[in-house]
Amino acid sequence: MTKVAVVFADGCEEVEGLSVVDVLRRLNVETDMVGLKSINVLGDHNIKLTCDKVVDDSLLDYDLVAFPGGRTGAENLRDDKKLADLMVKRHKQGKWDAAMCAAPIALGRYGVLDNADYTCYPGFEKEIEKDAPTSHFKETITVTDNSKKVITSRGPATAWAYAYAIAEALGIDTTEIKKGMLYDYLATHIQESL
**Could you give the domains of the chain?**
3-193 (3.40.50.880)
Q: Give residue 188's identity as a one-letter amino acid code.
A: T
**Which residue positions in the chain have pLDDT lower than 70?**
191, 193-194
What is residue 194's predicted lDDT score, i.e. its pLDDT?
66
Q: How far is residue 117's CA from residue 20's CA, in Å, rounded to a whole number? A: 21
pTM tops 0.75, yes or no: yes
Residue 190 confidence (pLDDT): 78
Phi-psi region of 14 (alpha: psi -120 to 50; beta: other; left: phi over 0): alpha
> Can you give the pLDDT at residue 189?
83
What is the tens place of the pLDDT at every residue in 27-41?
999 999 999 999 999
Chain segment 101-142, per-residue pLDDT in tens: 999 999 999 999 999 999 999 999 999 999 999 999 999 999
Q: Residues with Cβ < 8 Å from 114, sequence gap 6 or more?
A: 132, 134, 135
